[in-house]
Every structure is written in structure tokens, then in C-alpha cells.
Structure 1
């Protein structure tokens, strides 16, 4: 199997296309309609229960982010729409690559492997059991539902801490379109077009095209992306509806580096300052992705509906970048692992679900199967081997001066293929859920899902630059199963007030990345989680105030850890983790204070700790580390957001201002450095002239006061790097509806 150092190799992530085009066309009447970030409690949602029902009747902690809110805030990167959503922490460090989310303090093992990503109900999970947010066609998204708490009882693997469910654009009954042109800081430019029309009495079609480009605010961080999305809805018979959708995207993003971070939290000054990029040459991510989905809904009777889904996607990706190997402040150098990963995967997903409604019951029964075939090739370039002069071991290291930018040891570089793997993943499941209305006010929900998951990897031989075989090929396979139950009780006191209790379990196969699978111990268990929560949802003062509050406890066990065995890597089950917290969100209609005034607020308290996490870091040296009792890295205890919007209908204007705050968090596993708190103020202005209401113009200023802040990272032992946050950014958008 391929070699690895004792430190974890950061995950490989790639990016796909997005744009800031619109789906919901602007209303024709004068004035500007600004959507609340937190919608009203009668809004229908689906993802938390697989059944469509108002938020106030859902026994789970759910937030909805609308397309209009994304537009108002001028959001360009997927994941940014979740800033301010209770219970969610966003880490976006590498200029649009690797948007990482932590939900309810459950840290990722590799990349986004503790929550589930859904697109129109289809799981988007990699062969490594990871989630790449950038694989979602962002410009095609109409809205986002965030479910906090395990969802494995409904959706299976990965649903340990929650789910982020994206829904694509709906197709309207009338012909309508919108042309959008955006321009912003650092030469950002994004035109897009969306048009929907009835093709016939039984067919409706929507097409969306988008392109974007930008230089990036740091050196060598340019981006370009093109995308297309299509949805076609056929009313085949009065009882049968067929929806066909497809997406294509092609994206390239140059990748920025970190800045060296000292143990005390201070940043080493490098030539070029915060804009400097010391990554390896030609550091970039490329992705070409297409998918197609067919969904048929059949109304068997007034009480029974069957849904059949077939989805296929094809993803080709490249990641060329350096992994941080530390810095030498005396020599003024940064040391990188030189890495290139070429990947391709093909996923086919099929699901059948039957819904049966009676006066008191809503029963769901379903089955699905997923097949994934992937090919991974890893090539490492740099200085390799033990240096007796420095008494140091180099793992494909590239030394770069952070003063001059020069590469210092290029004459010593070699290039080796350390991974050549073909992977097959199969996941099959049966699930059932029953919502039982015990009384007119009390609803009980029980459900469970049984998953069977398999991985089979054929490893090719590893080779040196001259073609010499260093390790022969091998094969590794493992399989397991897991049963995930759920239970909840919701009591609706009035049409505007409800309380609930929920229990749910989640799991991850804990197979880990393919590169760590060759030495796998097949007795390893899946990671599991249990979640208990109590919540209240209500609207008060004639619906002028909407409020939701949730208290929860999430417990995880049998967590997968990577351990270095000499220069190789193996995986073990080690540790328990728990998170407790409070999630609050509110919206305000303040017209009693001032006409056209509204607001929102959210607050998150998260206490995430390792209950037991003691293991050997390196079996070759016997080095041990104990994180038991320590707080989880990069999970702030406190986060909050609030904002106000003032509508001036007579002038066709709307002004919004909002503030997002992230508190201090532990940077390293031993909690030696706690830092990173920052708050950002933002404003937007939208104008729709009365005489030409089909036009709309907006200006958004993010980080309006140009606050300097950093996102800090560390290993289990020490702080190691800082990613500078973006300075003040402007975006102006012109929209024309036709």
C-alpha cells in the first residue's frame, strides 16, 4: 500500500460551477421584496421526514435558506448560504476549494464525512464516504433545507450530525425568463440566463446557463466556471408525472496557501503579505461533472403514491497542490508535500418509495441501491528519504523561500506513483417510517433503516520515477451493515405553537479514504451516533415574531482514527465524542416600529468535547497522545447573526444590513491555543424602478468595515497554519425579467 507520514494528509477536494443567477422571477409590482433568512413556520419542508409538511409540524431542528436570501447577500460560494444557520460552522479556507461544514460540533474525520448532502433527495457521497459541496450545481439551486441531528434512519450512511438538502429550480406554468449580469471585486464577472416555458399542455421545460470568472483577491487564485442545467416535467397521464433533469459543469480554481502560524497564534510575515500564495507551482483544482435524474410520481389512489428515482453522475477531477509540512523561521522556508491526484468516479442511484396515507397514519416504505466505481491515481513529487546531515526524513518535500518565492531543493526532487486504485462501492437499504396521529394534537413518528455497505479496492503496484515497482498490487475488501432507528413525539398546542422530543441514530461505514484502506482491519466497526433533542417552535404577536429553540445532546462512538505505522498508515476505532448545545433562530416583523422594517437573529451554543480519545500516534516510535476531556478543534462555543431590512416601496428601494460573529475556538487538539473570533458586517441595497419593474439592480458589500481576520488550523499537537479571511468585497448585479 502507498506510504504516508504520521500526520494526516488533508483531504482532496474539488470544485464545481456556480453562479448567482435567479430562479424566482422578480414580482412585477413596485417595491422590492426582501425574503427573511428564516422563513415562516408554515413553510413546507420535506427533507427531515421525507414527507411534505409545515415547519411547525416537523419534529426536528430545520432551517430553510431561500434563493432570494442568497441573492440579497451576494453569495458566490456554496456553503456561504449556511453562515448564520444555527448549529452550523463553515470553514472555507482555500479560495473556493474544500468548503467544510461542521454540524452540531461533530468534526470531520477527513472531508465533510459526518453529515449528508442531498440534491433533490439523492445522496451526493464520494467513494471515500465524504461530501464535496462543490459537486452541487449551485446556480441551479432554488433553496436549501438544513436538518440538524442524525438522518441515517431515512437516508443512510454519513447522516451522523445532519443533512444539507439542496433543491433545484421548479418549472413554472407560464413562460418567463431572467437575464442576470454580475460584476464584483477582483474582476469577478458572471452572466447567466434562466428561462422556463410550457412546451405543450403536458410538458414544461426550464433551462439555465451560467458562466463566471474572477482573479481572486490572493495571488494565483483565479477561477473560471461554466454550467448548464435543464429540467423537463411531463404530465404523462393525470396520475403519472415524470421529471427529467440534467446538469453539466466545468470548473478550474487555482489554490491559495496558508500563512505560517506560530504556537502563540501569531502569523509569520511573508513577502507579499496576506495576498501572498506560497503553494507549489500550478496549484489548482479542476472538475468536470455531469448528472442526469429521472423521477416518476404515480398516484396509485387518493391514499397511495409511489415514487421511483434513477440517477447517474460522472465526475472527473484533478487536484494539484501542496500539503503543509511546516516552516523554518530561521531559514525562512515553507515545506510542502508535492501532490497531484487524478480521480474519476461514476455513481448510479436507484430508489423506490411508497407513501400510504390514512386519516391517522402516514406510512412510508422504500428501498434503494447505490453503485459507485472510482479510479484514483496519486503522484507525489519532491525530496524523499532520510537526510543524515539534517537528521530528518523528507516525504516528497518541496522547500520554498517565503521571502523570495524561490524553490530551494528542486535538484533533489523525485516523482513516484504512490496510489493506483480502482474502487467499487455498493450500498443497499430498506427503510420504513410511520407518522401516527395519536390525537388531534399529538403526532408520534417511528422509523428505521437497514443498510448494507461494501467496498472492494484493487490496488495497483506503486512505482518510482524510473518505473521501478516498489510495492506489488493488492486487493482489499470489507463489508458491514447497520440498523438506524428513530422516534419522535410532537405536540401542537395551537396552530402557531408546537413542542417536540426526538431521538435518532446515525452512522458512517468508517471505511476511510481509499489511500488508508489497504491495511484495513476488517473487524473495525462503523462509527455510530445517538442524538436526543427537545425543541419548541412558535409564532407570536399576530405572527410578528417567529421563534424556534432546540436543546440537544449528540454522542458519537467507535470513531475512526488514522495512525502512522512507520511510514505507512492504518486505521483504528478509537474514542468517544459528545456535543451539547442550544440553537435559537428568530425573525421579526417590526412594522409596528417602522413601516417596512423586518429583522432576523440566530444564536448557537456548542460544547463539543472528546470523552475518550487516547491512542498511539506513531507505532514505530510508540508516541502516544491523549485528547480525552479536550474540546474539539475549530468548533466555536458561541456563534450569532442578526440583521435588519428596511423596505421603501414608494422609492422601490430596500436596504439590508447584517452581522455574523464566530467566537474563539481551539486551534489544536491539545487546546494549547484558543483563538480565531471575528465578526463581519455586511450591507446590501436593492432598487427596482417603478416605471420599469422588470429591472432590478443591487449592490452588496461584504465585510463592509474591511476587518482583518484569519481562519486558524492545527494538528492534534500544535497550531500550524492560518488562512487569511477575505477583505472588503463588492458585488453589483443587474437583473432583467422577461
Structure 2
């Protein structure tokens, strides 16, 4: 329920009544129909993009700050290249589904590709906690993040320029027009440049967006938009940890790059969407959308190598990796919405087809011989000097082709959901969905590599949903049950039949139970939401040594298996309160208690039973507090405090840590002598807190990536 939109900065109204209206936010994500979030029997947070920008939004994952039940870490990419986002204790990148205007946006590895979201034209982000698979299918295991793009509200021109620490410059220009014919046009261009506060932490981004909203008749509307995005990002890496999780002293300190070459992530992407909305009659409406995407990506990365780490020699080890990828995707989504006095039914189907090709190359000291040291592309970096010490080894190779693959993914599903008004105060929701998936993978032979062969697989899943909501005297009390799922196909390299045996495919499923309360005062000055949840996830995918390879060396060395069981439970709280017509307070908190019920892994022939442990990277406690105050008609001040608690760093729970808190301060200035201009000042990490995101393997901490230092931002916006 938490809303980060500051009504004080969006509206210059002097009445508390108008301020309260800003807290009435409609949601379409959780029900596929326009509905006040207070009436939806599931936990929802609405993040307004304008408020996020005021608080220094820089990367994907910043939209999850302050959302109860969600925590995140940033990996070796430093920003949004390799984010680890945890919804209600989920421990992987496939825990939630990203949507753009309600259309699923799934990456090559079935992850949410936050680095491809066109944030410059996002109006708000609706974050739904709890499975959404009944309405949206795969990927919506623990929740959804729907990125709602701006609509044409009227005629407006806008120019903005932002500058800040470490070479941060962002320029944006947009134009909206509503023509006499009713046609709406939106054009937007955004340029984003950042040197970064760490070596190789900068980026350059360009986004061009065009949209047209066209009424065909009194009953039919067509919306079409096209987005082009290109980026050139540097890639940072981690800082090694000792066996107890302490940072080791490295050359150049926390801002330095330790690695090989010039790691980067270059992308070119375009996607276009065509949507038709047609009203058949007063009670029945049709909606259909088609999205086409094409992306090209060149990754040059350094991956941490735990086996090469040698602190007795000051060696920090990485594997050099480069990949040239292309992906094409077509996504169709169609639904019928029928509403009567007692029923609100939505039914439909979806179809998703994606093809990708990749040439993967590796760098480092490679060879499973005595001469080459039995290594897999090992790069040894002396972290005391920053020098690569094995660069001249005769077995050291650069960009050696290792895998040439093509993959085709197909998914389709049908669904129906009915919200039934049992009485004036009691509403039941019943829904069900069926989905089917197929993957065909082809690995062409590459000299010197074992990656070769073809492999196909398919699976399906059924997702039921039930909810009961009671509009009581104290607010909306509800119980919700839902099943989320993912196809569980996993990364492309696990479909190489030469290295991985896959005798079956099973989707991973989650059964989620939630009890909650949503309440508000009559004037909406105060809004409160409380939720208690329990989730059980089954058939998580894992890799174990292949028993068939013990006696037959022609068999793949790894086996994909299923059956791991995982539970999470917790409590979420959020409160938004307009103290006066000039002051607003928002508070949120969450407690997450996840546990592996069954987690047995085989690491290099050693069986490790991690059942009963807590998964790594999930902060048990998070707190958030924001305060906005309009001191005078021409100035508004704001402060945001965030707290993220400790989490487990190693899978055996031997080492934990990672707690940090941040303070962000800001001000908006509205010159009375020039009402079309707004100045905004922001201090991110205002107290210059030194903090890190920690990572580890089964029994040992591995590396940490530092969080950003204090950065100052100043922007000017001109609207006319």
C-alpha cells in the first residue's frame, strides 16, 4: 500500500481534501481491472516515479526501496546489471515477474531484466506481493512489478536537466499533445551519463520513446508505442573477503577495479506494443495487445572464482567471460472483461515466443592438464597491487569461443477469474490458469569445447486462486490463497546435453497464504495496511553430479534434479498519514523468516545437508520512514530513512552480516516569480555511510560489492 508520491510536490493545493485525493491510487495489476487498491485482497505498493526521482533514483532496483517485504543486493555489475531482488524471502532472480503496461517482460534466463525498463517514461510502478500466476503466468512466483507508462493527459512540454557528483548528467525532453480529433501523442528523449564513483562504474544511456493514443470510435481505442534504448555500461567487480567475512585490503580501496580487461555491458534494444481496447456493450469489454522486441547485447565480464582464491598469495581469482547475444520476442495478451451487479469476470489467453542466439567466449588460464594446472579459465589478480599475475602463462587464452547456441522458448496460457459480490460487504475471488512451456536448445560444436548437441523439453502448470474480502467496520479484512509458478527451465548453459543430463522437467510452484487488513479514514488522510503471509515452494531446481557418469565417461557430468522445498513467512506493515495539509509521513516495516525445509546439495562429491538453514541474501528486518513538509508555497523539504538488517552470507549460515541504514535528504523549490520552473536538490546517502552487499558460497564468504558513497544531485525542470 505504501505510496512514495509526495502529494505536496505534485499538487500545490492548500486544502487537505485535495491532498487526500492524491492518496486514492487506482491499480490494474492485481485484478487486470481498474480498482482502488484498498479493495484488492492482496498487498500492493504503488511507487510514483516522480517521487523516486526526487529521492535520487539511479538504477533499476531503486523502485523497491521502501516496499515492505522486499530487499535487494547489487552484485558484480554494481548497478542494475546483476541485481538480486528478494520478494518475501525469495532467493533467486526468478522470484517475481516484470510487466510493462501489463504485458509480461521476461529476459533470456526467465528473469526480470530491470536494466531494460524505460524508466524515463514510467509514471508509476505497481508492486504486488504474493503470486500473480493466475492472471499473468510464469515468473509471477512471489510477486509482480508492473511498470505503468505515462499517458497523454493534455498539452504539455517539459525539459529537465540534472547534474551531480561523479559526472552524473541527465537530460530529458518530452512533448504531449491532445489533438482536436482526440488523438494523443507523446514523444520523449532521455540521455543519461554517469562516470560512476567506482572504477568502471559509469554508463551512458539513450532512450527514445514515441506513443500515440487514437480513438477509432466511441467504443474502440488503439494505443501504440515504440521504444528504442541503447547503453554502454562499465562493469565493476567485488572485493575479496576472508573466511570470517571481513574485507581484505585491496589496491585502490573500495573504489578500485580488480580484474582483467575492460568489463562492459553494451545493449541495443527496441520494443513496440500495439493495444486495442473495445467496449462490446456496457458490461463487456475486450482488450488485446501485441509486443515485439529485439535486443543485441555484448557482455564482457569477470566472474568471481572461489576455487582460485588464494589469500596466502594475495590472489583474488576471476574467470573472464564474454558473450554476444541476440534475442527476438513476440508476446500476445488478450482478455475479456464482463461485469454485472454481482460478478466481475476477466478471462483470456496469452502467447509468448522468443528466440535467442549467443556466442560465449572465455578468458584465462585454461586446461585440465598438469601443464595448465587443471584450471577453468583462471585469472589470478594480486589484490595488493591490482596486477594480473598469470597473464603470461602459456595456457592463458583471451576470448576463446566455448559455446555457440540457439534457443527457442514457447509459452501459452488460458485463465479465468471471477470476483463475486456475495453480500454488500463480502466478496469472493475465484480464479484458475493453465500454462504450457517448451524449450528447444541447439549447441553447435566448438573446437576445444564439450558444448555440443540438441535438447528439448516441455512442462505445464495449473495455478488456482481464492480470496475472501470483508468490508468491515474497521476496514477491508481479507484472506488470500494463490499458487505461483515458473517453468523452472533455468539458464541456457544447463541445456547443453554434453554437460547436463535432464531426464525430466518440473515447474517450481509456490503456495501462498495471506491474511491482511487495509483501512483508511473517511477523508483518506490516514491509510494503514498490515499483512501476514506464509509461502511453501516446491521442486526448486538444483544441479548434482550425474551418477551415470561415474562408470561411463561419455555421460554428462551434471544432472538437473528437482525436489528441494523452501518456506517463508513474515509480517508487513505500512502507514501513510497526512499530518497537516503541508506535512506527510510514510512508515513501513517488514519481518521475513525464510527456511530451507529440504536442501541437500552435492558439492564436488561431498554431500551437504543444509535443511533447516536460512537462505543467503534475505534481510530479516527492513524499515522505512519518509517525511515531506511544505514549509512555504515556494519550498518543500523531504527526508527518507532506510534500514536493512543482517542476512546470511554463507549457505551453511556460518557467517552473517550486511546490515546498513541510509539517509536521503532533498528539497524542491518553486519560484513564485517563475511558476513554470522547479528546482530540486537531493543528497543520496547524506551521512556518507560505508556499506557493502555481501556474497558467499556453501561454507565461505566470497566477495562484497560496496554501496554508493554520498552523492549530490541538482535538477531544474521547465514545463509549459
TM (normalized to structure 1)? 0.91
* 2:609 pairs with 1:626: yes
Name the structure 2 match of 1:460. Answer: 444
2:675 and 2:22 map into 1 onto residues whose CA distance is: 26
1:564 and 1:683 map into 2 onto residues whose CA distance is: 52
* 2:312 pairs with 1:330: yes
Classify 1:446/1:30 alpha carbon distance in 2 versus 1 (closer, same or farther; 3 Å): closer
Does structure 2 conserve the Cα–Cα contact (< 8 Å) formed by 1:478 and 1:522?
no
Does structure 2 conserve the Cα–Cα contact (< 8 Å) formed by 1:362 and 1:436?
yes
* 2:374 pairs with 1:382: no
1:716 and 1:148 map into 2 onto residues whose CA distance is: 29
Does structure 2 conserve the Cα–Cα contact (< 8 Å) formed by 1:28 and 1:693?
no
* 2:140 pairs with 1:159: yes
Name the structure 1 match of 2:709. Answer: 727
Does structure 2 conserve the Cα–Cα contact (< 8 Å) formed by 1:64 and 1:143?
yes
Does structure 2 conserve the Cα–Cα contact (< 8 Å) formed by 1:30 and 1:688?
no
* 2:112 pairs with 1:123: no
1:251 and 1:124 map into 2 onto residues whose CA distance is: 18
Name the structure 1 match of 2:552. Answer: none
Q: Displacement of 1:32 after TM fit? A: 13
2:101 and 2:506 map into 1 onto residues whose CA distance is: 30
Q: Which of 437, 443, 448 is the equivalent residue of 2:432?
A: 448
Q: Which consecutive segments of 4 or more residues in structure 1 shift more than 6 A? A: 24-28, 30-33, 38-41
CA RMSD of aligned residues (A): 2.3
TM (normalized to structure 2)? 0.93
2:21 and 2:437 map into 1 onto residues whose CA distance is: 37
Q: Which runs of 5+ in 1 are unaligned?
A: 1-21, 465-469
1:417 and 1:61 map into 2 onto residues whose CA distance is: 47
Q: How does 1:230-379 map to 2 (within 5 A)?
A: 230-326=210-306, 327-379=309-361
Query: Equivalent residue of 1:237, what SS?
Result: coil
Q: Which of 125, 131, 135 is the equivalent residue of 1:150?
A: 131
Q: Which of 584, 596, 601 is the equivalent residue of 1:598?
A: 584
Classify 1:89/1:32 alpha carbon distance in 2 versus 1 (closer, same or farther; 3 Å): farther
Query: Equivalent residue of 1:153, what SS?
Result: helix
Deviations 1:592-611 (A, max 9, x none): xxx62211110010001100
Q: Which of 177, 194, 199 is the equivalent residue of 2:174?
A: 194
Q: Which of 57, 73, 78 is the equivalent residue of 2:39?
A: 57
Q: Displacement of 1:31 after TM fit? A: 8.7
**Which piece of structure 1 moves more, 576-585 or 328-337?**
328-337
Q: Displacement of 1:615 after TM fit? A: 2.7
Deviations 1:354-373 (A, max 9, x none): 11111110111101111101
1:388 and 1:378 map into 2 onto residues whose CA distance is: 25
Deviations 1:273-330 (A, max 9, x none): 0111113211011111100000000010001100111110101111111111143222
Q: Displacement of 1:101 after TM fit? A: 1.0
Query: Equivalent residue of 2:228, what SS?
Result: strand
Q: Displacement of 1:678 after TM fit? A: 0.7
Query: Equivalent residue of 1:68, what SS?
Result: helix
Q: Displacement of 1:29 after TM fit? A: 5.3
Q: Displacement of 1:568 after TM fit? A: 4.6
1:568 and 1:282 map into 2 onto residues whose CA distance is: 33
Q: Displacement of 1:91 after TM fit? A: 1.6
Q: Which of 388, 402, 407 is the equivalent residue of 1:418?
A: 402
Name the structure 1 match of 2:25. Answer: 43
Q: How does 1:603-614 map to 2 (within 5 A)?
A: 603-614=589-600
Query: Equivalent residue of 1:558, what SS?
Result: strand
Name the structure 1 match of 2:158. Answer: 178
Does structure 2 conserve the Cα–Cα contact (< 8 Å) formed by 1:325 and 1:337?
yes
Q: How does 1:197-212 map to 2 (within 5 A)?
A: 197-212=177-192
Does structure 2 conserve the Cα–Cα contact (< 8 Å) formed by 1:279 and 1:321?
no
Name the structure 2 match of 1:712. Answer: 694
Classify 1:331/1:27 alpha carbon distance in 2 versus 1 (closer, same or farther; 3 Å): closer
Name the structure 2 match of 1:438. Answer: 422
Name the structure 2 match of 1:493. Answer: 472
Does structure 2 conserve the Cα–Cα contact (< 8 Å) formed by 1:98 and 1:132?
no
Q: How many residues align?
A: 697
2:321 and 2:639 map into 1 onto residues whose CA distance is: 42
Name the structure 1 match of 2:623. Answer: 640
Does structure 2 conserve the Cα–Cα contact (< 8 Å) formed by 1:516 and 1:570?
no
Name the structure 2 match of 1:670. Answer: 652
Deviations 1:106-156 (A, max 9, x none): 110xxx212111011111112322221111111111100011111111111
Name the structure 2 match of 1:8. Answer: none
Q: Displacement of 1:53 after TM fit? A: 0.5
Q: Displacement of 1:200 after TM fit? A: 4.0
1:259 and 1:472 map into 2 onto residues whose CA distance is: 31
